[in-house]
Amino acid sequence: MDTTLQDPLVGRLLDGRYRVEARIAVGGMATVYRAVDTRLDRELALKVMHPDLATDAAFVERFMREAKSVARLAHPNVVGVFDQGADGAYVYLAMEYVAGCTLRDVLRERGALRPRAALDILEPVLAALGAAHRAGFVHRDMKPENVLIGDDGRVKVADFGLVRAVGSATDTTGAVLGTVSYLAPEQIEHGTADTRADVYACGVVLYEMLTGAKPHSGDTPAQVLYRHLHTDVPAPSAAAPGLAPQLDGLVASATARDPGLRPDDAVALLAQAREARAGLADEQLDLEPPGARPQEAGDEEDPTSVIPRLRPLPVEHTSLLPPPAPSSAPPSAPPGARRRPRGPLLIVAAVLLALGIGGGVWYINSGQFTRVPAVLGQSESQATKRLADEGLAVGTTRRAFSDVYERGTVMAVDPAPGERIRGNGTVTLTLSRGPRIVKVPNLKGTPLAEAKKRLADEGLAAGVVTYAFSGSVAQGAVIGSDPEPGTERNPDSAVALVVSKGAPVDVPDVTGETVADATAALQDAGLKVTVAPERINSPEDAGSVAAQSLAEGSRAARGDAITLTVSKGPRMVEVPDVVGMPTNEAKAELEDAGFAVKVEKTFPFLGDTVSDQSVDGGSTAAEGSTVTLTIKGL
């Protein structure tokens, strides 16, 4: 079923060839998409590594190793790999698309299967693994989730992402590869795996197909691991009475805790499976499983294929793992199985080591854990709410560049989606800063507020905003930017904007006019008018405009406001007495008092003394008014 949820890759043409149509599944290392190869016009599956892992050379190497390993197999029961490559931050494999379901889906829907159906599935799985084993590879993660059943009935083994050359299958320091319920004892205790580890996992899968349940269960992963180490897989007939002894023997052979007692590889186990089938009558093959039940959702295995490191808790929270079986009643074992003494201290140390805890102590209390929900691609607020709905909190929030996730959306989560976490735990979010290099967008004609938002969306910031007149760009819209559109800049760089003031307006002179007439004249010019609350003395008549904030001839933008100051009439000033003074002295004294001076001379060649003034000295006159001086000579 498609599970596309606003995935940034859906709808994109990857590497100029693969059109991504829908998301199919998400795992610990990669996401699988249904896509179309536009060159060959065929449907396929694209396995795309998570971008945050693509910068890790070790992860990329392991990812590419899958392609090379599976391509070498070329087996009809192995999901084929067609191509591998990279497109920017996307490292991908182009794989065969199998329309159908997984064995996990079948077990969840139907519970236990009839022996014939179980063998019909097991045999092609063993054939695929046998080809891998003979080619020198170990799958290391066999489980029902990795067995695909096509609509046409074909069975194929998928997800060889953990394959490793047999000769290099040594230590897995830091994590146990594989899923808990299918790990062989030597993987748990020593971290090693060879072809017999795959045989063990297939034995567990067969038990699950025959009974509808896993052979070992527990409230915590530690309990399951403990039982794999110290308890034999029970005979499936104990849970499903009536099953033939040959099937019990097949499961016991594949799941012997001592790897030396198991078949050497999947080819040998396949021979045993065919031999067991040959010894069964039709009624034994078609036995209806008693009490078969659909598997509960809580039984589904974690799709991630690596058990992550868990942080140690303080010693006071320590809870002992289940004690070993009493020495007086040791668990049953296949004939000839070799036993090695394992004291409680060794048992605890082995399980802790398997879980990558080192010298710390791991405590899990049933019911206290949940799984991190999928929040990749969501906004910070959406992710925070989704986590809160699961009882989880957001701890620190980081930011990093991403060519995949939109700026401001979640690009990585720690712990990863699907991983178990304490029910009241905290999750670290990494938010995308967008691509490492961004281009300045073309904002010409864009309103200022929208331009600022677009810059933020692109990962840039609005810098200094200046204004200029423009007859072609609407007022309030962007005329241009610095740097220019198309220029590449680092994220969060500032971009200066020039914003249009609109076409210029010539300001008329309205001084001396009434406020009503002045307002009308300015509004007709496209300007707004405000009137200053304070009036001033001026030569203008009281109630008329004494001054305007922009003088005549100034240029303003349409809609700009002009402030008018109203006159309260001229100020009355005492007139100095200048009769008898020389003309220049008299003129200077009157001007200093705020008057204009006019000089009239009669016979100027006869003298230069003021004989009269138009306004008597000691009286008052309007400031700025004119005083006339008469010069009569002798």
User: Which residue's structure tokens are 């110290």?
Assistant: 230
State the Cα–Cα distance between residues 188 and 180, nearest whole angstrom.
Answer: 9
State the Cα–Cα distance between residues 79 and 98, nearest whole angstrom.
Answer: 8
In this structure, the dihedral spanned by the alpha carbons of residues 62, 68, 73 and 75, taken in order and rounded to 10 degrees, is 90
Q: Residues 372, 377, 383, 386: is their CA dihedral positive or negative?
A: negative
Catalytic residue among 7, 52, 105, 141: 141
Laid out side by side, the sheet with 528-531 consists of: 528-531, 561-566, 545-548
For residue 15, CA distances in Å to 89, 179, 395 come to 11, 33, 36
CB neighbour class for 472 (10 Å; exposed up to 12, middle 13-18, buried from 19): exposed
User: Which residue's structure tokens are 């290391």?
Assistant: 140
Laid out side by side, the sheet with 596-601 consists of: 596-601, 626-631, 610-613
Decide: 172 and 150 in contact? Cβ < 8 Å: no
In this structure, the dihedral spanned by the alpha carbons of residues 592, 593, 598 and 601, taken in order and rounded to 10 degrees, is -80
Q: What are phi and psi of 554, to 5 degrees?
A: -70, 160
CB neighbour class for 238 (10 Å; exposed up to 12, middle 13-18, buried from 19): exposed
In this structure, the dihedral spanned by the alpha carbons of residues 206, 306, 163 and 142, taken in order and rounded to 10 degrees, is 10
State the Cα–Cα distance between residues 270 and 125, nearest whole angstrom.
Answer: 9
Transcribe 463-506 into DSSP letters: EEEEEE--SSS-TTBEEEEESPTT-EE-TT-EEEEEEE--SEEE
User: Which residue's structure tokens are 């200053």?
Assistant: 532
User: Which residue's structure tokens are 């072609």?
Assistant: 472
The amino acid sitting at 326 is P
Q: Say whether 141 is catalytic.
A: yes
Decide: 38 and 17 in contact? Cβ < 8 Å: yes
Instruction: Go through the chain and tell me how many residues it has.
Output: 634
Residues 6+ positions from 251 with CB-CB distance below 8 Å: 203, 206, 207, 210, 233, 235, 236
Q: Which residues are the active-site residues?
A: 141
